Amino acid sequence: MDGRGVRRAVGRLFPIVLLLTLALALAYVVVPLVAIFLHVPLRELFAALKSDVAVDALIVTAKTSLISQAFILSVGTPAAYALATRRFRGRSVLVTLFELPIVLPPAVAGIALLVTFGRLGLLGGTLDAAGISIGFTQAAVVMAVIFVAGPFYVRGAIAAFEAVDPTLLAASRTLGAGPGRTFRRVALPLARSGLAAAAAISFARGVGEFGATLFFAGSLQGVTQTLSLGIYAQLDVDFNVALALSAMLVVISAVVLFGIKFMPSWTRFVSTSLSGSAHSTSS
Cα 83 to Cα 44: distance, rounded to the nearest angstrom: 50
Query: pLDDT tens for residues 217-228?
Result: 999 999 999 999
Q: Indicate the average pLDDT of the chain.
A: 89
Checking if the pLDDT of 268 tops 80, the result is no
pLDDT > 70 fraction of the chain, expressed in percent and rounded: 90
Q: Which of 12-16, 61-65, 104-108, 183-187 comes out lowest in average pLDDT?
A: 12-16
Could you tell me if 140 and 117 are in contact, meaning their C-beta atoms sit under 8 angstroms apart? yes
In angstroms, what CA-CA distances link 208 with 64, 70, 268?
12, 17, 26
Cα 228 to Cα 209: distance, rounded to the nearest angstrom: 7
The domain limits of the chain are 1-38, 41-282
Fold of 41-282: MetI-like fold (1.10.3720)
Q: Span 53-81, mean pLDDT?
A: 97
Checking if the pLDDT of 279 tops 70, the result is no
Tally Cβ neighbours within 10 Å of residue 200: 21
Checking if the pLDDT of 158 tops 90, the result is yes
Confidence of residue 276 (pLDDT cuts 50, 70, 90): very low
